[in-house]
Homo-oligomer: A and B are copies of this chain.
């Protein structure tokens, strides 16, 4: 089958060690170097990473576990992560959890059996138990987008609460008082964004009817249904804050099917994503997450740990099950989102 260093040895008369040294960038006599290179290209030799990994116990592979791969948000991050890892000589091994905690658990196990050197995780659930095997294995871990409260695992994310506060504040500044939210209290990011909305209402001493607060999943259906219901109210909101991309999709769809117009009848601001907003007419004003920075930062953090050989397990968490302490993760990095202006907000 495939050529091995033994074949190179036959062809060159050199020893295995010399060839290995060549492969790993050691110094050797130019003539030998040339011989080896000739043999390699003749034999179409490729390093067998399994054998190498068995010895070094490092695979140069980084596991990436995402809650849902069929998702603009996720795959943009994957793209940037991939660029970073590549540059550092690592390759990502991507696992899709399909929003299923069981699959997520299995993914972690799987990646461990593949001896990945580290892991990036965008968790599906809200508990860190599924990561315990990885912590036991002592490999570096970095979370993205969603932190796991009290787990002590580093996380890179945006400041959801502050950003959604700003978004709603923009509606407020444009004169809106009847401000609704279509969001989520089931996803952790949704909760944080809801907090921002509520905080602004509280600070500005605005009260809204409970029907203005539509909570469910971050899903197209929820967005669609909620917008329909909002527009049917006797006193519909003049502005709606939409908590994530799927919700935006559903809500805009419902609005398009209704007699209401944006922004004359109802103003909109949404959280997540950028490209897509160009499709809607008028263009949506959005809170855009710095995806590039998120990925770069997470990759850098993980690579740094990889270099230092630092383990995620700090010794305090050697047990499995629920964490009790509410210790603040030391490495939590919170990036600011920015508002990108469209024409979906009217003055009132």
Contacts and interface: CB of A to CB of B under 8 A. Distances in A.
A225 to B, nearest CB: 14
Contact of A75 (B48, B49, B51, B70): B70
A338 interface: no
A224 to B, nearest CB: 9
Interface in A54-88: 54, 57, 59, 61, 68-72, 74-76, 78-79, 82-83
A279 interface: yes
Interface in A246-281: 248-250, 252-253, 256, 275-276, 278-281
A187 interface: no
Interface stretch (A94-102, A167-175, A234-242): A94-102
Interface size class of A (residues with CB under 8 A): 35 or more
A133 B51 CA distance: 19
A275 B69 CA distance: 15
Interface in A1-28: 1-2
Nearest to A96: B82
A136 B44 contact: yes
Contacts of A92: 94
Contacts of A115: 48-50
A73 to B, nearest CB: 10
Contacts of A50: 50, 53-54, 59, 114-115
B79 A96 contact: yes
A283 interface: yes
Interface stretch (A105-113, A145-153, A298-306, A327-335): A105-113
A310 interface: no
A341 interface: no
A42 to B, nearest CB: 12
A125 interface: no
B276 A253 contact: no
A2 B92 CA distance: 22
A93 interface: yes
A91 to B, nearest CB: 6
B57 A54 contact: no
Contact of A82 (B69, B71, B136): B69
Nearest to A253: B278
B109 A83 contact: no
A201 to B, nearest CB: 28
B78 A46 contact: no
A137 interface: yes
A47 interface: yes
Nearest to A255: B281
A216 interface: no
A98 to B, nearest CB: 7
Contact of A70 (B49, B79, B249, B282): B79
A62 to B, nearest CB: 12
Contacts of A279: 248-249, 252-253, 276, 279-280
